[in-house]
A and B are shown apart, each in its own frame.
Chain A
Amino acid sequence: MMNLFDYLNKRMGFTSRHRRIMDKPVPGWINYFYCFGGIAFTLMILQLLTGILLSLYYTPTEADAYRSIQRLHQVVPLGRLLRATHHWAANLLVVMVLAHILRVFITGAYKNPRELNWVAGALLFVMTMSFGFTGYLLPWDQKAYWATVVGTNMLGSVPLIGQCLAGFVRGGSEVTGQTLLRFYSMHMLWLPVFTGLFLWVHFHILRRLGISGGM
Chain B
Amino acid sequence: MVTNRREFSKKALYGLLALLGLGFLIPAIRISAPLAVRERELAFFPLIPEDDIPRAGVKKTELIFSINGKERKTRVFIVSSAAGPTILSAVCSHLGCLVNYQKDKGEFVCPCHGGRYDLSGKNIAGPPPAPLMRFPAMTQGGMLMVGVKV
Tell me the A residues contacting B by CB distance below 8 Å: 49, 53, 56, 75-79, 81-82
Give the nearest-CB partner of A71 in chain B.
B35
Q: Assess the A56–B31 pair: CB atoms within 8 A.
A: yes
Q: B residues 20-46 with Cβ under 8 Å of A?
A: 24, 27-28, 30-33, 35
Other-chain residue from B24, B28, B35 in contact with A76 (beta carbon distance below 8 A) = B35
Listed by A's residue number, 9 A-B pairs whose Cβ atoms lie within 8 Å are A49-B24, A53-B28, A53-B31, A56-B31, A76-B31, A77-B30, A77-B31, A78-B27, A78-B31
Q: Assess the B27–A75 pair: CB atoms within 8 A.
A: no
CA of A79 to CA of B31, assembled, Å: 7
CA of A75 to CA of B34, assembled, Å: 11
CA of A82 to CA of B27, assembled, Å: 9
- Shortest B21–chain A CB gap in Å is 11
CA of A82 to CA of B24, assembled, Å: 11
B32 / chain A contacts, CB cutoff of 8 Å: 53, 56
Dominant SS at the B interface?
helix
Most chain A C-beta atoms within 10 Å of own C-beta, residue among B27, B30, B31, B33: B31
Q: Assess the A81–B35 pair: CB atoms within 8 A.
A: no
Interface string of B27-67 (1 = CB under 8 A from A): 11011110100000000000000000000000000000000
A82 / chain B contacts, CB cutoff of 8 Å: 27, 31
A75 / chain B contacts, CB cutoff of 8 Å: 35
CA of A77 to CA of B29, assembled, Å: 10
CA of A77 to CA of B28, assembled, Å: 10
A49 / chain B contacts, CB cutoff of 8 Å: 24, 28
Give the nearest-CB partner of B26 in chain A.
A78
Give the nearest-CB partner of B38 in chain A.
A75
Q: B residues 73-107 with Cβ under 8 Å of A?
A: none
CA of A75 to CA of B30, assembled, Å: 12
CA of A81 to CA of B30, assembled, Å: 12
- Shortest B65–chain A CB gap in Å is 18
CA of A56 to CA of B30, assembled, Å: 12
Q: Assess the A78–B30 pair: CB atoms within 8 A.
A: yes
- Shortest A122–chain B CB gap in Å is 31
